[in-house]
Structure 1
Amino acid sequence: MAWNEPPGGGNDQDPWGNRNRKKNDGPPDLDDLFKQLNTKLNKWLGGGGNKNRNSDDAPKGSGGGIGSILAILVVLGVIYTVYNSAYTVDESERAVVLRLGAFQSIQPPGLHFKIPFVDVIEEKVNVTQIREHSLNASMLTADENIVQVSMTVEYRAADAKSYALNVRDPQSTMSHAAESALRHVVGSARLEYVITNGRDEVQSLVKERLQEYLDSYRVGIQLAELKVNNASAPAAVQDAFDDVIKAREDQQRLINEAQAYANQIVPVAQGQAQRQLAEAEAYRQESIAKASGDADRFTSLLTEYQKAPEITRQRLYLSTIEEVYSKSAKVLLDVESGNNMMYLPLDQIRKSAPATVGGVSGLSNIDSLTQSEISDLYDRIITEQSRRRNN
């Protein structure tokens, strides 16, 4: 065998004359490996494996195999590129896109594409989720007392760009800002105010100050709710403060009861005052009318008096006597009967019925007589006395 005799030519003899050498003895031939790989790739791609190729077609077969490999690699690269360039954003999210490390855009919900190895999705920020942070700490008040305060903060990421890029840890920033705002407000108030009726105002001031802090940090967080759950004094003085709170509640209760009583009694008093004013006004009108009537009557009597003074005087006297006697019990005596001494049982006379007046019997309960009856009785008495004098 010559030194340049190709192996596998049907002669298994080596230069030393050794025959029947097995093919798997020694390292494999690289050309054989490439041929086998090319054959398998051609089968996968539909090229088939032609065993009747001559030695002149071997280079062409090797070139076609490398081209096929490159084609497969290109296809795989395209598939990988398309797969990694497409992404979706949920309805509640906003995607923060960076291009070569710099901010590029905020992508809304839906299907989007990016340039592989150039664009990077920094973070998908949920802008509708309400996040919650709780804080429980002891702090000093303005009067140098210690108060235990627990607080809950609810917030959401309103600005996706600021939330994802401006701070490294938004939750930690929120925690520190909330504690700082709470300490500032509580440290400016007295202990009694914080744990009693000032809690609502403290809550409002803390929320306002915390939002100012977050806006100045440009962290992209919007507060939804802030609530001071509890504010209590240290355990050593808690009982004393409980007594103070109870006393304040009792004071407020008594004030409310007094206000309710005032609301009830004031309308009644106002009604009585209005009634008295109305009665006074009616009495005033009545007095004015009566005075006017008396003045008119006096004027008319003056005219009659000027015409007949004696008769008018006598008539006025009798009218006055009539008015005075009409309101009292009366016993009339006939002094001309000749009795020098008489005994009058007045009590029995007043109780007796019928009464006898001036010799006229048949009259009872003289106090109940009307003015016309009294005038008639008076005329009858005058007539009777005149008759007796004439006799």
Structure 2
Amino acid sequence: MAWNEPGGKNNDPWKNRGGRDQGPPDLDDVFKNLFGKFGKMGGGKGGSGKSVGKFGILLVIGLLVVIWIISGFYTIREAERGVVLRFGEYYQQVEPGLRWKPTFIDSVIPVDVQSIRDQASSGSMLTEDENVVRVQMEMQYRVVDPYRWTYAVADPQTSLSQALDSAIRYVVGHSTMDNVLTDGREATRQRVWEELQAILEPYDLGVSIIDMNFRDARPPEEVKDAFDDAIAAQEDEQRFIREAEAYAREIEPRARGQANRMNEEAQAYKEQIILEAQGEVARFEELLPQYNKAPQVTRDRIYLETMESIFSRTSKILVDTKNGNNMMYLPLDKMMDKQNSTAPVRSRSTLEGLQNPIEIESPNSTTNSPGLRNDSFRDGRR
């Protein structure tokens, strides 16, 4: 039966030994018994027992030395740098990897130098135009000097928080409410960044500011609705301006293209008219000598060519008047429609070198005019 089971009180190893109760053995007695056993291992008393006792002490010291050496190994992760202190004073900085330090002499503080840390600050602040706004900003930074980060100030996190809060309040205090809430937010963020760097520079905390985020800026709740309307109106204004600019960018190239096309068409028409006029002048210059040599023949030929050109583009109706005065129906409406759909042909010819316009008449005309007139041709008179 076990001594701690019911009814096993008499089996307690610490009681009823030698007729009296006793507690747990004393540690001094345990060590004395242990060293006594080491002494007996020599087989006798005297010098041999003392040598065996010294061997046991050396063995214990050797174990302690091994434990001390093993306890000195440590590892610095890839994203960290180690700050080594020797008797509490800065000694050196170690790189990542497996390292060893003398325990109780050196101590190592690992510092993360790759992770990006956040530090936020918020509060109600008074602007330059004496309005109250609530601003929330967040700073992102990274440690670049582990020693300065650890020992430049007593509490680097608190120092960063206070510096950020001071920079925000300074910039907001020198800005108007509209700039902080609307279109001046980016400028405010940049100014806070610059002011924070100026504040941290004398402390040399060993940090690098990566970014500054303007998380929120809003007016007091009592006037929030009015400011929301004002912001919406400004956003609408910017949207209309962008739409107008986009429309202008779309219309302007099209208008420029049309203007260029019209200029090119006008230039082409100008060249066409000039070439046609030059051709007419050249033709009449060739015609003038022939007219001077044979006026009647030339007049008849021009008359026939002109009539041929006119009748080739008009409708013709042949009426037989020799077989009686029969009434016949002429489709005047269709003839007029066809005439209206056909562009009128107008031939205007002049002869350079002639002082009077040429009048083209019938070969049997008795007019002895030195020139030719196109009006007679155009009316079809003989």
Question: What is the TM-score when the length of structure 2 is the normalising length?
Answer: 0.64
Say whether 1:48 aligns with 2:41: yes
Aligned residue-pair number? 303
Structure 2: distance between partners of 1:219 and 1:353: 114
| Higher mean C-alpha displacement, 167-176 vs 279-288 | 279-288
| Equivalent residue number for residue 250 of structure 2 | 264
Structure 1: distance between partners of 2:29 and 2:243: 107
Structure 1: distance between partners of 2:258 and 2:29: 125
Say whether 1:100 aligns with 2:87: yes
Asked whether the 8 Å contact 1:39–1:49 carries over to 2, the reply is no
Say whether 1:354 aligns with 2:319: yes
**Structure 2 CA distance for partners of 1:217 and 1:66, relative to 1, 3 Å:** same
**Between Structure 1 and Structure 2, whose CA radius of gyration is higher?**
1
Asked whether the 8 Å contact 1:35–1:62 carries over to 2, the reply is no
| Equivalent residue number for residue 161 of structure 1 | 147
Structure 2: distance between partners of 1:93 and 1:266: 59
**Structure 2 CA distance for partners of 1:130 and 1:285, relative to 1, 3 Å:** closer
Task: State the SS of the aligned residue for 1:216.
Answer: coil
Structure 2: distance between partners of 1:193 and 1:133: 24
Structure 2: distance between partners of 1:241 and 1:288: 69
Task: State the SS of the aligned residue for 2:222.
Answer: helix
**Structure 2 CA distance for partners of 1:168 and 1:35, relative to 1, 3 Å:** closer
Q: What is the correspondence of 1:120-135 to structure 2 with a 5 Å cutoff?
A: 120-121=107-108, 123-135=109-121
Gapped regions of structure 2 (runs ≥ 5): 1-17, 20-27, 312-316, 322-329, 347-359, 367-382
| Equivalent residue number for residue 247 of structure 1 | 233
Structure 2: distance between partners of 1:204 and 1:46: 81
Letter in 2 for 1:174: L
Greater helix content: 1
| Equivalent residue number for residue 333 of structure 1 | none
- Percentage of identical aligned residues: 35
Say whether 1:81 aligns with 2:68: yes
Structure 1: distance between partners of 2:30 and 2:205: 62
Letter in 2 for 1:157: V
Asked whether the 8 Å contact 2:40–2:49 carries over to 1, the reply is no
CA offsets 1:9-29 (integer angstroms, 9 cap, x no match): xxxxxxxxxxxxxx99xxxxx
| Equivalent residue number for residue 145 of structure 1 | 131
Structure 1: distance between partners of 2:55 and 2:113: 49
- 1:315 Cα deviation (Å)? 5.0
Letter in 2 for 1:254: F
Give the RMSD, CA atoms, in angstroms: 4.3
- 1:104 Cα deviation (Å)? 0.8
Gapped regions of structure 1 (runs ≥ 5): 1-22, 25-33, 328-351, 357-363, 383-391
Structure 2: distance between partners of 1:35 and 1:196: 83
Letter in 2 for 1:48: M
Structure 2: distance between partners of 1:221 and 1:244: 40
| Equivalent residue number for residue 115 of structure 1 | 102
- Correspondent of 1:181 among 155, 164, 167: 167
**Structure 2 CA distance for partners of 1:135 and 1:37, relative to 1, 3 Å:** closer
- 1:227 Cα deviation (Å)? 0.9
Task: State the SS of the aligned residue for 1:244.
Answer: helix
Q: What is the correspondence of 1:223-372 to structure 2 with a 5 Å cutoff?
A: 223-296=209-282, 299-300=285-286, 303=289, 311=295, 315=299, 354=319
- 1:264 Cα deviation (Å)? 3.0
- 1:212 Cα deviation (Å)? 4.1
Asked whether the 8 Å contact 2:133–2:220 carries over to 1, the reply is yes
